[in-house]
A and B are shown apart, each in its own frame.
Chain A
């Protein structure tokens, strides 16, 4: 089923949040730091404020509570003591038009005394390096083992060690952040893209010292998200500026601002050692990861938690150790990004398994297959029992049965000239929801009218994935109704009960389950009352339901009181991918010829949308693997626009075959579970495997640029 707003979109009439215009509306702009690290000596706004057309100029001291989160390390709304990143916001300006606002923002004079820059995460914890926060440069650490890893590795027949790195990836949602805020009678409505309207409400209420109920966030329509709209300060900027200006304020970031100041995927330095018996059974894994969160904590420690859980992949690992640290630097702030810490560690683990397959003389599919987790097995690191809902083996088998994998040798032999051919395979799992012990829940509200028309308000909201359509399909299925007689609203914090983020692969599973639950309630009441008109007459036409994501039944090794820290998942989405590509042996260029994406999403409720998510995830994964890296030099961004930060075009993305693995997730709505994140994960290691198959060199660093590849060949 198509996206709800597709018909308006194809004729250009849908108003996105940055398209909105109000009478008397002002336009905002941001004064940003030009240097990576410094002490703010003075901020002089007099010249900016005196410019004709300027209606408000705000600095940190003007924000009632100048914090984006509960702690200092969450960062200020507007930097007032120190700047810690190029692009950090220092002042906000509202003016009669956008040009005036931008000129006034430039006219704010910020005197900064430069401080030494922390640019290398690998040395950020050294005592001689300046501390970016009072507590030092360690933003978080997760380190534990499920047994004696050293002994297990010493006893293993084959131990593969890989030292790898992955870059900072920019989301490049095509709509840059922006929107409008409007205050009326002490209450603010903010139209601004958000993957987490509840969180943004709390941020706005905290910053302005107002009640949460006085903040309404309308989180769409919005042009893409991918994680970037989780931590975005834009709703706060809009609200504080509109309040100060006493008029509605519109603001949008330029692409250049997004490149400098928007969040990025955490760059990782990762070392893994994986041990095998000579028969190819996994013996142990030991992973050390270092993540760079930039100047503020944002998602850093949570990302590491996901990294830890997925550091053993979908494999039976007798013992495992993970030691991850996330550090502060003056590089770009990192935040949530599709995959959330998993692509980085999967690249290390999957390429290590390929290396082991080569050393053991085994087929990479066979080696994986004999080690895959099956239902009832215990997770290698956390020790919790995995449910039968995981179909890792079926997913791998589906990918490996594709003709592009089966015929890879014939295809390779048909290579011509300098273009050498190779095929690779890789797989991954990614947990659905926030994990056990986190109290993760979603809610839905339903009202019927006398004619039986049903209105549903539910979250998580739509940022491109058409989750609202899936809610409608689930409701229609539970109620046995024509979907056309059901209306679904998402993304409006005034109307939708708090349901958490469009994140953690949880929207379908959590939001869909809440919708199913509220529909079941309505259905039962309907049967009892004898019809919708009667329910309305009785004043019983409104229903609410909450769905609590189930925890793992058998938590295994982890003491229950620590579950809150470790949060193992009951439900995993799974993907296995085959990449076939050509490598130019003289120039190092890579042309991807095709990708097979097998995905286990339980039952696909809206198969067209699932295929769209799979293809989009693979394309983003190809970008991560081959060309995307936000680069800085001494904390100063080098990739400053879409001219020098390249993402795949239609010419770079090949045909992608999506294979939906049949079977229901027993705990999911209509048998469904999340899949939109896991599909980005196997792409990088599958590309690396294909490169190794083509030219015999296994890349250790993503992206695999032509230059890096050619260096490897020489």
Chain B
């Protein structure tokens, strides 16, 4: 497995990818909000596509390239989240940024509907999603 480009050898193949990232590697960007794939706070990229790291076992990612929010290059996307005031409590934001980065990789100039579809698996309770959608739109410019 590679995490953010660095080869790693997880000790426990049956651990959840989320726990390995957080507890063993100290990558705390991915958060646990539900533990069952319903909130998206733990979203990471696995071979370029967003997945809920609470629903992946380490052994399933053995050959994978895993990218967490910490491994995304500082991008216009993250800057747009900051300046667009899309961050309130921020607990969902790492997952949002990861999902949005995958969305923009697939649709460099997304419609609002595509943005909302691309973020459908990431719950936010603070923002009502408006500022987040605007930030993604801004980053696409």
Contacts and interface: CB of A to CB of B under 8 A. Distances in A.
Q: Do A and B bind each other?
A: yes
Interface of A: 1-3, 5-7, 9-16, 19, 171-176, 221-226, 252, 254-255, 463-466, 608-609, 611-612, 614-620, 641-643, 647, 649-651, 653, 655-656
B68 A12 contact: yes
A614 B88 CA distance: 12
A107 to B, nearest CB: 21
The 8 closest A-B pairs by CB, nearest first: A12-B29, A223-B91, A464-B89, A619-B128, A615-B128, A12-B69, A9-B90, A608-B85
Contacts of B36: 255, 641-643
Contact of B116 (A174, A608, A651): A651
Given A9-B90, A642-B34, A647 B85 contact: no
B20 interface: no
B3 interface: no
Contact of A649 (B30, B89, B123): B123
Contacts of A15: 28
Given A5-B90, A612-B88, A10 B124 contact: no
B119 interface: yes
A641 B78 CA distance: 30
Given A642-B34, A647-B125, A612 B131 contact: yes
A261 B51 CA distance: 29
Interface of B: 22, 27-36, 38-39, 41, 68-70, 72, 74, 78, 81-94, 97, 112, 115-117, 119-133
A111 B111 CA distance: 58
A649 B39 CA distance: 9
Given A16-B28, A172-B125, A609-B85, 10 more contacts: A9-B94, A14-B90, A19-B28, A608-B85, A612-B85, A612-B127, A616-B88, A642-B33, A643-B36, A653-B129
Nearest to B26: A21
Given A10-B81, A174-B39, A650 B126 contact: no
A226 B112 CA distance: 28
B73 to A, nearest CB: 10
Nearest to A14: B90
A409 B125 CA distance: 33
A642 B52 CA distance: 14
A361 B129 CA distance: 38
Given A12-B69, A616-B127, A173 B132 contact: no
Nearest to B89: A464
Given A10-B82, A611-B131, A464 B33 contact: no
B132 A650 contact: yes
A171 B94 CA distance: 21
Given A12-B27, A14-B90, A254-B35, A174 B125 contact: yes
Nearest to A99: B19
Contacts of A254: 35
B16 to A, nearest CB: 11
B31 A16 contact: yes
Nearest to A221: B90
Contacts of B72: 11
24 contacts: A1-B85, A2-B82, A2-B87, A3-B88, A6-B90, A9-B90, A10-B82, A10-B93, A11-B78, A16-B31, A173-B89, A223-B91, A224-B91, A224-B125, A225-B89, A252-B32, A255-B35, A615-B131, A620-B125, A642-B36, A642-B123, A647-B123, A649-B123, A650-B132
